[in-house]
Amino acid sequence: MSRLALTHPLHLVIGLTLWSLWFVAIYGGLSVACAVAPPAPQQGALTAINVVLGLLTAATTALLAWLAWACLQMARDEMGRPRFVAAVSAGLYLFSAVATLFVGIPVIGVPPCL
């Protein structure tokens, strides 16, 4: 099985697709968890729901950041169209990683199921 080269145009949409899947999983999972087993309001932000959401956010951010770094390294070695695709993909992966952090940071301090 061959892997998808970091200069392939599909990388232009993978970052935002991963972010959107993470977003749906986070809010869908939060909704289901709050409907099935809401934590006591006295627990604050340190709940099992927030820990799982935080870990998923950290893993997604790490993956997107690594893909951004890998595409940037590839862009330094290429010329022409492959360089353009790798550089733009790196930017989109980085944007997706920052968006993941921006949306996921409230997990640290906001109690779930408000």
Q: What is the pLDDT of residues 28-64, one digit of tens each?
A: 999 999 999 888 888 888 898 999 999 999 999 999 9
| All structural domains of the chain with their residue ranges | 10-39+46-108
Angstrom distances, CA of residue 103 to CA of 7, 37, 56, 85, 87: 28, 23, 12, 27, 24
For residues 71 and 90, is the Cβ–Cβ distance under 8 A? yes
18, 29, 33, 36, 84 from 87: Cα distances, Å: 18, 33, 39, 44, 5
pLDDT at 14 over 60: yes
Q: Calculate mean pLDDT across residues 80-94.
A: 92
